[in-house]
Amino acid sequence: MIFRKSVEEDELSSVPIGPISDSLLRTLELLEDEVLVIDGDDRPIYQSTGISALNLIKGERLHGEEVLAIVRAVRRTAKPHQGLIEIPRGLIGEGKRRIKIAVTTLDTESVLILINDESEKTRVDAIRRDFIANISHELKTPIGALSLLSEAISSAKDEPLAMEKFASRIKSEAKRLEELVREIINLSRLQGEDPLMDPHPVDLLDVARKAIDQAETNAESRRIDIELAGKDEVIVLGDREQLVMAVHNLIENAINYSPEGTHVAVEVKVNDSVAEVSVKDQGIGIKEEELERIFERFYRVDPARSRETGGTGLGLSIVKHVAQNHGGEVRVWSKVGLGSTFALRLPIAREVPAGEERT
């Protein structure tokens, strides 16, 4: 039996190749598109290395209504078909991939499927337009404030108390601007990277510990205790830095919207066969009509409190992007006056790829 060799790792893949000639095999390996060849029972007899990230194979068979409908039409008519369709990024959540698909028959049973992921280009183009508009609006506030304060200092150079007050305001606005620029850079980086194109096993318990360490200074300044629950490792596939960033943002959000001297609980667990990191606070809570909007870029539940804590309105948007990029979702439960619970939910890594190290 022949096995396809991985171009990147130069190791034998686990996908057997049956009735494919050596000449066709060499041709398929030269294609830039992802390649899948299935037999008459819709079982893969050849697949390129990127097919596994597209979640098109389930129970050792091709699945997905739109893809299967195209395959059946091609088998029935014996004519090639091309088109654009959307497929889920993962087993949970609302994230979608927009793929260009080309299907043709190889013989009376075997079907060749070529796939080009168009989702990144489409997504990045749309986000870039919205992002530029949002950024230009948000940057006007701190930049305008800095300009006015600098003028105020010039006119109050003989008034030490006024100078001190204006200098303190400038420091505050500069810090806000610095935080805004940092979050913009983080969000821009997320929009340009796909963690599922080259995923690595990541231990969510380790991610939670790292995120808590990063939030410790803010928590101590507000006398807020952070408790971590969960002893067993929970492994997902993706990018460790992105996941740490998402959980850290949830923890910082909990700290910033909680009264001093309260408690934040972080828990890592498996819930309904889904990996989950939940962050529960004893904060001000969120009105029901605002729950749908809190993940929008620059949206703030309490603008006055955001100004006080230096919030940019980008933290939860980043969490949502990370969740969708990993084929997952983020959920929230909240009641005004009783606090909120945010849960980052991700597909569990059923098997850690051979030779891969956990990060």
Where along the chain do its domains lie? Answer: 2-117, 118-192, 196-359
> Looking at the domain covering 118-192, what would its CATH class be?
mainly alpha
Q: Phi and psi dihedrals of 39, rounded to 5?
A: -90, -170
At 336 the three-state DSSP class reads coil
pLDDT attached to residue 6: 38
Residues 2-117, CATH architecture? 2-Layer Sandwich (3.30)
Structure confidence by residue, pLDDT tens digits, 157-172: 777 787 777 777 787 7
Using one digit for the tens of pLDDT, what is the confidence trace for 88-140?
877 777 777 888 899 999 888 899 999 988 766 666 666 566 666 566 656 66
Note whether 40 and 105 are within 8 A (CB): no
Burial of 222 (C-beta count, 10 Å sphere; 0-12/13-18/19+) = middle
Q: Report residue 189's pLDDT band, with 50, 70 and 90 as the boundaries.
A: low
196-359 is a CATH 3.30.565.10 domain = yes
Q: What pLDDT score does 290 carry?
A: 82
